[in-house]
Amino acid sequence: MHVELYKTKRELNIKNYSPKTIKSYLYGLQQYFCFKGEKYTELEQENIKDFLLHCKQKNISAQSRNLFLNAIKFYYRNVIRNPRKIKIQTAKKPQRLPIVLSRSEIEKILQSIKNSKHNLLISLAYGAGLRVSEAVSLKICDIDITERTLHIKHAKGRKDRITIVPEKLVNQLKNLIAVKTKNEYLFASERGGKLTTRTAQKVFKKALRAAEINKNATFHSLRHSFATHVLENGTDIRYVQALLGHHNIRTTQRYTHVINPKLKRIQSPL
């Protein structure tokens, strides 16, 4: 490994960044070092701008370019200890509305899943607003049936949060808890250990096709649908923010653009 990448990896680990972030930052830095070619430790803002423009011309997304920029900033600030501030703004990302499944579409998806474990996985992900990584990482000790809560540990940003257990799933969860130890995964793979995120995503995609739903939905659409539907039920947006674990209320507010009931009542002149 390149010595500067090694130093950066060490610093990221010391600061307790997640493995996923470390991998992404190191990839971004590697691309930057390849572009820079030499004198990696010298902070040259114009060179960084040229690199980001080069990435844009290669059709690299705004989200990835912003990640590269954050990796570069981390390197110069925390590894090189250069006090100069990098005055480059992040790229403006396209404002896309989340893909939300209707309640009837969710019902069709669940009806199409005959495997009881897979059905519970998709039901819980939707009913509790879980990311795919959170769903497969759930352990028996994270479930409090009495309080009807799930303790989501080390979620995005290394933050814990509490979310709800749907009433409809209580009996199924009770039956599973009865035959497992507290440190076992709720959704274990056949080979032992937890179910992989890839497997969970495949389960969802298969169910989407079986339900004959043509939306470009992903496993994460279950979380979008949860947020939209609880807001439609009249839940205060601050509670929804807490259930989803959003740091910024603006992230939660984007769901209000999907649920405008007045819009649905407007009749087209056609």
Residues with active-site annotation: 131, 156, 220, 223, 246, 255
Question: Is residue 109 within 8 Å of residue 208, measured between CB atoms?
Answer: yes
d(CA 246, CA 162): 12
Question: What are the start-end ranges of the E strands in the chain?
Answer: 143-144, 149-152, 161-164
3-state secondary structure of 188: strand
Q: How far is CA 241 from CA 79, 129, 252, 256, in A?
A: 34, 11, 6, 12
d(CA 200, CA 118): 8
Q: Which residues contact 114 (CB under 8 A, 6 or more apart)?
A: none
d(CA 152, CA 174): 18
CA torsion through residues 24, 29, 30, 35, sign: positive
Nearest to 79 by CA among 14, 157, 1: 14
Radius of gyration of the chain (CA): 22
End-to-end Cα separation, the chain, in angstroms = 63
How many other C-beta atoms are found inside a 10 Å radius of the C-beta of residue 267? 5
How many other C-beta atoms are found inside a 10 Å radius of the C-beta of residue 147? 11
